[in-house]
């Protein structure tokens, strides 16, 4: 009976003490005190934690190292795989660009039928300018068909097998192509040279030739279709004593970078050799 | 066997020649891998199939090249003849024979090619041919001569193993 009234008083005092402590803590008055108490605890905790971490690492390190090495080698394999993929994709992008340009070229020349082919090799002789392509008679190719790129004339097919063909480039020393100049419309002949370049010969002395004039196939001789771009004049050599003018030419096609070419399959060269007079002919 | 291995070896070299070597130029000269291989093989001491290698090499190049079929064939046969002569005379310094045959072989094969092209109606300017094609090709061929000789020496040892005297 005597103890019952004391408890509420103790509870109230305790509650007031707790509320007071909370109020002091919220007011920031207990911070120095808590710092005083917590600092040694935190220091001890840090010291112990660092040692424990070091001990744990020392025990677990060999396992981690092996795992990391394995992971590292896996990542290296992955990186090299992705690098290969990037190279393949870049190559595909490059091929797509070339093909897209070739398709555009074919669209603007609807009168011709084209067949695309990849350049797979070059003639082993340094004296000749020929390339080998991966299409042959099985694909409908015939000797004499003109070969172009989206830039301009490349050459013509010189020999055909079932699966491949040999293309004589216009830079070959044996190549002679009848051309016309724009805008003067003068007739001339493009010749390949041993240096792998082309030059313009047989330009009439009276023809007005300027640097920058365009050179197009004339169609004379029946070996090439008309109006295929070949290049641009970069220099003119004119001497009064000569019968003809000569000119140096910058071809529009980069013959060192030939990858994909188009063959004009609906063009049939005309053989005019029976009409060419020979010394033995009557 | 020594004849049959010529087909894959010279075939591989021909592919390398058309795809890689013909695009790795010094001015306008290129190396002639087939000719170097034929020379290196012909100069090996125990080799008895040099002529066959020359014919197979010439035949292969003749098929691929736009040059007249007989041009590489004649060139390689002359090269084999040269190599055989030099092997007999300077047998104690075979690498010297390799360099001499490569030098002369390059000049001879280029001369035959130029003459044949002239016969077929393509007259090449001699000065440009020498300075733009022949001299650079000569340098490239001589650069490859020594490694090719030692490679083919190993191949010859494998094809013709030495007999052990008991």
CATH number at residue A133: 2.40.10.350
**Considering A27, A58, A81, which residue would you say is the last residue of a domain?**
A81
Q: How many CB atoms lie within 10 A of CB B44?
A: 22
How does residue A4 score in pLDDT terms, banded at 50, 70 and 90? low
At residue A7, the pLDDT reads: 74
A121 shares a domain with A77: no
Three-state DSSP at B139 gives helix
Could you tell me if A126 lies within 8 Å of chain B, comparing CB atoms? yes
Phi, psi of A114 (to 5 degrees): -115, 150
Choose among B34, B64, B132: nearest Cβ to A194: B132
Cis link prior to A46 (omega < 30° from 0)? no
Q: Write the pLDDT tens digit of every residue in A41-63.
A: 778 777 877 887 787 777 776 66
How does residue A267 score in pLDDT terms, banded at 50, 70 and 90? confident
- Based on C-alpha coordinates, what's the Rg of chain B? 16
A198 shares a domain with A72: no
A123 shares a domain with A56: no
At residue A279, the pLDDT reads: 62
Output the CA angle A213-A251-A99, nearest 5 degrees: 120
DSSP for B58-113, please give it: HHHHHHHSSS-THHHHHHHHHHHHHHHHHHHHSTT-HHHHHHHHHHHHHHHHHHHH
Residue A199, judged by CB atoms within 10 A of its CB (0-12, 13-18, 19+), counts as middle
Task: Output the pTM of the full model.
Answer: 0.76
Does the structure show a pLDDT above 60 at A2? no
Q: Considering its fold, how many domains does chain A have in total?
A: 2
The average pLDDT across B27-52 equals 93
Could you tell me if A252 lies within 8 Å of chain B, comparing CB atoms? no
| Residue A229, domain extent | 114-269
Q: Which chain A residues contact residue B129 at CB under 8 A?
A: 127, 194
Residue B164 lies in a domain: no
Does the structure show a pLDDT above 90 at B115? yes
How does residue B136 score in pLDDT terms, banded at 50, 70 and 90? very high
At residue A1, the pLDDT reads: 46
The alpha-helical segments, DSSP class H, found in chain A are 6-26, 31-108
Q: Considering its fold, how many domains does chain B have in total?
A: 1
Residue A174 lies in a domain: yes
A121 shares a domain with A75: no
Q: Write the pLDDT tens digit of every residue in A15-39.
A: 888 888 888 878 878 778 777 777 7
| Residue B122, domain extent | 6-159
The average pLDDT across A235-244 equals 88
A127 shares a domain with A75: no
Q: Does A168 contact B66 at a Cβ distance shorter than 8 Å?
A: yes
Residue B165 lies in a domain: no
Residue A187, judged by CB atoms within 10 A of its CB (0-12, 13-18, 19+), counts as middle
Q: Write the pLDDT tens digit of every residue in A148-187.
A: 998 899 999 999 999 999 999 999 999 999 999 988 889 9
A258 shares a domain with A121: yes
A43 shares a domain with A167: no
Ramachandran quadrant class, A130 (left: phi over 0; alpha: psi -120 to 50; beta: rest) = beta
Does the structure show a pLDDT above 80 at B127? yes
Three-state DSSP at A119 gives strand
Ramachandran quadrant class, B27 (left: phi over 0; alpha: psi -120 to 50; beta: rest) = left
Residue A96 lies in a domain: no
Residue B52 lies in a domain: yes
Residue A263 lies in a domain: yes
Residue of B15, B122, B137 to mutate for A, most A C-beta atoms under 10 A: B122
**Considering A30, A56, A81, which residue would you say is the last residue of a domain?**
A81
Residue of A126, A167, A192 to mutate for B, most B C-beta atoms under 10 A: A126
CA-based nearest residue in chain B for residue A164: B64
């Amino acid at each position: 009976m005597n103890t019952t009234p004391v408890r509420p008083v103790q509870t109230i005092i305790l509650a007031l003490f707790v509320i007071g402590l909370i109020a002091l803590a919220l007011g920031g008055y207990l911070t120095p005190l808590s710092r005083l108490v917590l600092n040694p605890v935190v220091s001890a905790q840090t010291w112990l934690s660092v040692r424990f971490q070091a001990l744990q690492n020392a025990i677990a390190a060999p396992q981690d190292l092996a795992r990391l090495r394995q992971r590292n080698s896996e990542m290296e394999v992955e990186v090299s795989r992705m690098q290969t993929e990037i190279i393949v994709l870049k190559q595909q992008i490059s091929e797509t660009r070339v093909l897209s340009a070739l398709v555009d070229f074919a669209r603007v020349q609807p009168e011709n039928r084209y067949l695309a082919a990849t350049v797979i090799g070059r003639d082993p002789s340094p004296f000749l300018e020929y390339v080998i392509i991966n299409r042959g008679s099985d694909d409908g190719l015939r000797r004499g068909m003109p070969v172009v790129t989206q830039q301009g004339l490349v050459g013509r097919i010189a020999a055909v097998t079932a699966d491949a063909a040999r293309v004589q480039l216009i830079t070959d020393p044996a190549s002679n192509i009848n051309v016309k100049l724009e805008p003067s419309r003068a007739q001339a002949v493009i010749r390949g040279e041993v240096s792998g370049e082309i030059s313009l010969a047989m330009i009439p002395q009276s023809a007005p030739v300027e640097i920058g004039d365009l050179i197009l196939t004339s169609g004379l001789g029946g070996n090439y279709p008309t109006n295929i771009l070949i290049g641009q004049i970069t220099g003119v050599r004119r001497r009064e004593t000569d019968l003809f003018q000569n000119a140096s030419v910058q071809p529009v096609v980069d013959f060192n970078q030939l990858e994909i070419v188009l063959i004009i399959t609906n063009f049939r060269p005309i053989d005019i050799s029976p009409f060419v007079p020979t010394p033995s002919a009557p | 066997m020594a004849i049959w291995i010529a087909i894959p070896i010279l075939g591989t070299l021909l592919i390398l020649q058309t795809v890689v070597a013909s695009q790795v130029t010094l001015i306008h000269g290129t190396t002639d891998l087939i000719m170097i291989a034929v020379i290196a093989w012909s100069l090996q001491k125990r080799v008895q199939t040099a002529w066959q290698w020359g014919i197979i090499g010439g035949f292969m190049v003749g098929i691929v090249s736009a040059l007249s079929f007989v041009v590489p064939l004649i060139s390689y046969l002359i090269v084999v003849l040269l190599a055989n002569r030099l092997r007999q005379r300077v047998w104690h310094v075979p690498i010297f024979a390799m360099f001499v045959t490569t030098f002369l072989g390059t000049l001879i094969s280029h001369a035959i090619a130029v003459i044949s092209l002239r016969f077929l109606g393509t007259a090449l300017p001699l000065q440009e041919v020498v300075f733009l094609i022949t001299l650079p090709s000569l340098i490239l061929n001589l650069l490859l001569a020594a490694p090719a000789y030692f490679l083919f020496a190993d191949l010859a040892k494998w094809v013709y193993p030495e007999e052990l005297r008991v």
